[in-house]
A and B are shown apart, each in its own frame.
Chain A
């Protein structure tokens, strides 16, 4: 393990060397740059001679323990990354054969055992974009208020508390809420509208969090410059702060969209149905969704074993969709950080 692998410590090349030189009690000379194992035996005989460093065995044990711990840590990280790749590779391996143009563009046939998943793709897209259409304006406005206006006031603190707790509410509870409020109390029925509103509430904390982060990255000097030129605060926000934070806000939007697309429990009773013969023609028609489709096909479809390829194919499409969106968000964010660093 090279000393320069230590992330938060810019001046690292000498860190091992400094420690060893101090321990050995010699004047600092040219220090070897890549001591991995501190070979105390050789040190005693050649460099130090007098052996001011008295416990070579203990030092070696310390090095070995360091090596063991770091190996364990690497192993833990490796397990995680391996699990992600394992799941993806498995889905690609099994699902790729089911994927075809027809699979993506046809409706299910023969009581769901054949055909494609086109209505599910449409449904998931509508649910995702629709929920984003509601949650993005709400979330951005909330974040602007929290970050630009409210500061640390009591009202702002309680809103932050609310957002944090909203983020922790299980998706199935959102489902129950959506059913009792949007479906029944508002009278929307099991429909696209109920589903997307439920998802909008669910993704709101994601949008608020990422937007606030993006606003935090905009330098104060930019705001001050605009205010000094005589712009009002609202004009400063619209003309200066929001444009500067736009990439970060977009990242948040993509993450919210991905979250909404992958969600199942929240739409099970609010917007998604297993099968709908009718095309989606209004906000009030029920929709089919990829996530719900996988669940029903895998657990209570007409012929579970026969539809396995369909299940793999649907799961693959959903994962590609969600991970693709996340990848886009990550790249966007990464590029943003690079630009800022320059």
Chain B
């Protein structure tokens, strides 16, 4: 190959490498800016006060920045949502791979994926104007905007995530495993429950982690349906205020680089670390799987 052409190839390769590095750069910059804006808060408020104190009065004199109720609220909302979404998502995935006919599957799979595309603000809106009044009437509550409604709507959002990741895992189970089990006289239920699902178990675990990561970071749904009361929830039907909704509701009002502004970025750091942990856990589970199998 002529030298000029070879040199051009190297240049192209380098340019592409730099462009590909952008994703890493953006991730790094997101972290950098969160920390630059958020960390100075901890010169006036201690980390333990921030995480464990009960009161969030950012505009009072002196202001108080305790996010414990929001942490509890976020965890409660995520766990309740997962309690609905994980069984539903995994069962739908099993149905798609093990039960549905190819024709039905070709139609239903995109439909379920499309649920993931519904804008979160529309789901939040639906929760506000339909689900909340309905639940309020049925369960005779003070307010329909509460932990339970928010969890239901979050579950609706995270089912497609869980379903499509779990489906990939189930689909990757070799057909020979199913064939062997069926040849031994097992029914399709026994094959599914005792062979296919155990073989795809770590993939299903990854799916759950990603679903939870989606729930905990989702903003508009909890902002519009969780009720927004910064208290520790005592029942499933108390209004709560999860982490993302605090950031969304207050950032526009916080004065630039004031304490409140810093505190909101610190809250953002907490949220970022939460989702990062879920994503790393998901990746860890899936890597352990592929390493063990091959």
Q: Are B19 and A19 in contact (CB under 8 A)?
A: no
B73 interface residue (CB < 8 Å to A): no
A96 contacts chain B at the CB level, 8 A cutoff: no
Q: Is the CB of A291 within 8 A of B119?
A: yes
A162–B31 CA distance with the chains assembled, in angstroms: 12
**Are B189 and A327 in touch, CB under 8 angstroms?**
no
A302 CB-CB contact with B under 8 Å:
no
Residue picked from B23, B118, B223, B279, most chain A C-beta under 10 Å: B23
Evaluate contact between A205 and B20: CB separation under 8 angstroms: no
Given contacts A19-B183, A323-B114, is CB(A66)–CB(B188) below 8 Å?
A: yes
Task: Say whether, besides A295-B124, A295-B220, A173 and B117 are in contact (CB < 8 Å).
Answer: no
A1 at interface by CB-CB < 8 Å: yes
Contact A74 B12 (CB under 8 A): no
Q: Which of A214-257 contact B (CB under 8 A)?
A: 232-234, 255
Please indicate the chain A residues that have their CB under 8 angstroms from the CB of B192 in the complex: 69
Residues of chain A with a CB closer than 8 A to B189's CB? 62, 65-66, 69-70
Interface string of B1-40 (1 = CB under 8 A from A): 1000100110011011101111110110110011011000
Chain B residue contacts of A146, Cβ below 8 A: 20
Contact between chains at B256 and A184 (CB < 8 Å): yes
Q: Pick the contact of A173: B34, B95, B118, B283 (CB < 8 A).
A: B34
The 3 closest A-B pairs by CB, nearest first: A170-B217, A262-B119, A76-B91
Instruction: List the B side residues contacting A142 at CB < 8 Å.
Output: 16, 19-20, 22-23
A262 in contact with B185 given A168-B276, A323-B114 (CB within 8 Å): no
Inter-chain CA distance A24–B117, complex, in Å, is 50
> Beyond A62-B189, A90-B130, is A84–B115 a contact (Cβ under 8 Å)?
yes
Contact of A76 among B20, B88, B128, B193 (CB under 8 A): B88
B101 contacts A4, C-beta separation under 8 Å = yes
* B182 CB–A CB distance under 8 Å: yes
**When the two chains form their complex, are residues B118 and A233 in contact, meaning their CB atoms are under 8 A apart?**
no
Chain A neighbourhood of B117, CB < 8 A: 255, 258-259, 262, 322-323, 326
Inter-chain contact A169/B29, CB cutoff 8 Å: no
Residue of A nearest to B173 (CB): A8
Given contacts A7-B101, A323-B118, 15 further A-B contacts (CB under 8 A): A19-B186, A70-B188, A73-B95, A159-B24, A166-B26, A168-B276, A168-B279, A170-B217, A180-B33, A232-B9, A294-B125, A295-B121, A295-B220, A298-B125, A318-B122
B146 within 8 A of A: no
Tell me if A179 is interfacial: C-beta within 8 Å of chain B.
Answer: yes
Interface residues of B in 110-142 (CB under 8 A from A): 110-115, 117-126, 128-130
Bound: A308/B106 CA distance, A: 37
Contact between B275 and A298 (Cβ–Cβ < 8 Å)? no
Say yes or no: is A80 at the interface (Cβ < 8 Å to chain B).
yes
> A311's closest neighbor in chain B, by CB?
B125
Q: A264 in the interface, Cβ–Cβ < 8 Å?
A: yes
- 10 of the cross-chain contacts (CB-CB < 8 Å) are A8-B175, A62-B190, A69-B193, A145-B13, A166-B30, A168-B217, A172-B219, A176-B268, A326-B113, A327-B114
Cβ of A174 < 8 Å from any Cβ of B? yes
A334 to B159, alpha carbons, bound, how many Å? 23
CB distance from A252 to the nearest CB of B (A): 13
Interface size on B, residues (CB 8 A): 103
- Knowing A7-B101, A176-B34, the reply to whether A170 touches B244 (Cβ < 8 A) is yes
Decide if B16 touches A79 in the complex (CB within 8 Å): no
Contact for A234 among B8, B24, B91, B106, CB less than 8 A: B8
* A172 near B16: Cβ-Cβ < 8 Å: no
Query: Which B residues lie within 8 Å of A8 (CB)?
Result: 97, 171, 175, 178
Asked whether any CB of chain A lies closer than 8 Å to the CB of B81, the reply is no
Option from A81, A161, A181, A291 in Cβ contact (under 8 Å) with B108: A81
- Number of A interface residues in the complex (CB < 8 A): 99
Looking at the complex, which one of B95, B125, B210, B224 makes contact with A168 (CB distance below 8 Å)? B210
Q: Which of A175, A181, A208, A255 contacts B23 (CB 8 A)?
A: A208
The answer, yes or no, to whether B240 is at the interface (CB within 8 Å) is no
Give me the interface of A with B, judged by CB distance under 8 Å: 1-2, 4-9, 15, 18-19, 22-23, 62-63, 65-66, 69-70, 72-74, 76-77, 79-81, 83-84, 87, 90-91, 138, 141-142, 144-146, 149-150, 155-156, 158-159, 161-166, 168-177, 179-181, 184-185, 201, 204-205, 208, 232-234, 255, 258-259, 261-265, 268-269, 291-292, 294-295, 298-299, 308, 311, 315, 318-319, 322-323, 326-327, 330, 334
Task: Please name all residues of chain B whose beta carbon is closer than 8 Å to the beta carbon of A311 when the two chains form the complex.
Answer: 125, 129
User: A76 — which chain B residues lie within 8 A by C-beta?
Assistant: 87-88, 91-92, 95
- Asked if residues B118 and A149 are in contact (CB atoms below 8 Å), the reply is no
Chain A residues near B188: list those with CB within 8 A. 1, 6, 66, 70
B279 partner residues in chain A, CB cutoff 8 A: 164-165, 168
* Cβ-based interface call for B71 (8 A): no
B102 CB–A CB distance under 8 Å: yes
Q: How far is the CB of B13 from chain A (nearest CB, A)?
A: 6
Min CB–CB distance B26 → chain A (angstroms): 5
Digitize B253-272: 1 where CB-to-A-CB distance is under 8 Å, 0 elsewhere. 00010000000110010011
Q: Does B156 touch A at the CB level, under 8 Å?
A: yes
- Residues of B close to A7: CB separation below 8 A: 97-98, 100-102, 105
